[in-house]
């Protein structure tokens, strides 16, 4: 168990609030006017075409890049003014390219645990490396591991300390179908406790339709469309289901973007 229990947000306070932020690289804004709130018990799916701003939004939310405007609150704590308190309340599965290749999987997990102030095996499910098929690779340097194994290490690191908010950016990519299914079931069970929330950026529309309670579609750096739980139920009942609804939105966004650039 954790050496120091992971703090929860006070009752009624969203685990995440994104308040009119703009973010990008250099002086170029990629994400503009983003407003978002995520509460315990929600699983938010983040969809959009390549280049729509999904990764930039998540990097801004997790403090990997600075804000040009607005604020991010994690469990009631401002990311800019109380970074230590804010960052203790979320776990982020970093992109596999950002993992330290010279460390073994075990060393990386121990490093993350030391930062979080928890044991290096404090996961929501005992024996998580075995459950995800990663145990045999824990003592292999990350640089020698496959894409799928690296993704497993990133996900396990995000889960260390069982944080209230979990943020995954394309983190299911590279996983085999069985492991991907197991990760989604674990996340679903955590959300169902009412103490956790998940944000998942993905192109796996079928996974979003099956597991998410809320969905946001990004286009041209903006949160262009949202489905709440009632909307998702209605979309699933339509011809083609939720996947068809999303594909139509993406095609519309691509067409609008192409027209604006012409």
Residue 43 near residue 214 (C-beta atoms within 8 A): yes
Q: In the CATH scheme, what is the code of domain 12-89+164-178+191-262?
A: 3.40.50.300
Residue 80 near residue 72 (C-beta atoms within 8 A): yes
2, pLDDT greater than 70: no
Query: Where is average pLDDT lowest: 88-102, 122-136, 238-252?
Result: 238-252
From 191, 250, 253, select the one nearest 44 (Cα to Cα).
191
Q: Cα separation of 190 and 43, whole Å?
A: 10
* Residue 89 in tokens: 């309340």
pLDDT tens figures, 207-221: 787 889 999 999 999
CA-angle at 126, arms to 123 and 130, nearest 5°: 105
Among residues of the chain, what percentage have pLDDT more than 90? 67
CA-angle at 24, arms to 20 and 28, nearest 5°: 110
* Residue extents of the structural domains in the chain: 12-89+164-178+191-262, 96-162
For the whole model, what pTM was predicted? 0.88
Q: Cα separation of 217 and 222, whole Å?
A: 9
Q: Which pLDDT belongs to residue 113? A: 95
* CA distances to 98, 129, 172 from 146, in Å: 14, 15, 14
From 60, 179, 156, select the one nearest 108 (Cα to Cα).
156
Q: Position of tokens 């999904």?
A: 54
Residue 123 near residue 160 (C-beta atoms within 8 A): yes
From 21, 27, 43, 40, select the one nearest 215 (Cα to Cα).
43
Mean pLDDT, rounded, for 98-112: 97
pLDDT tens figures, 226-261: 988 888 888 778 777 878 877 777 777 666 566 666
């Amino acid at each position: 168990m954790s050496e120091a229990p992971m703090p929860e947000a006070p009752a009624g306070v969203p685990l995440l609030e994104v308040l009119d932020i703009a973010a990008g690289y250099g002086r170029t804004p990629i994400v503009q006017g983003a407003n978002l709130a995520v509460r315990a018990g929600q699983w938010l799916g983040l969809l959009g075409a390549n280049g729509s701003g999904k990764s930039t939004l998540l990097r801004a939310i997790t403090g990997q890049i600075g804000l040009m405007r607005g604020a991010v609150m994690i469990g009631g704590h401002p990311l800019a003014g109380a970074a230590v308190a804010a960052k203790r309340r979320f776990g982020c599965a970093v992109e596999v390219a950002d993992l330290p290749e010279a460390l073994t999987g075990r060393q990386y997990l121990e490093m993350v645990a030391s930062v979080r102030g928890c044991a290096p095996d404090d996961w929501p499910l005992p024996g998580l490396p075995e459950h995800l098929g990663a145990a045999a690779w824990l003592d292999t340097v990350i640089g020698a591991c496959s894409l799928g194994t690296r993704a497993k290490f990133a996900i396990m690191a995000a889960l260390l300390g069982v944080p209230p908010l979990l943020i995954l950016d394309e983190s299911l990519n590279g996983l085999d179908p069985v492991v991907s299914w197991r990760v989604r079931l674990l996340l679903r069970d955590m959300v169902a406790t009412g103490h956790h929330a998940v944000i998942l950026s993905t192109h796996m529309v079928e996974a979003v339709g099956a597991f998410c309670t809320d969905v946001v579609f990004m286009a041209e750096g903006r949160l262009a469309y949202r489905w709440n739980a009632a909307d998702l139920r209605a979309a699933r009942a339509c011809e083609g289901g939720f996947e068809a609804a999303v594909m139509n939105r993406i095609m519309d966004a691509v067409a609008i973007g192409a027209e604006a650039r012409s």
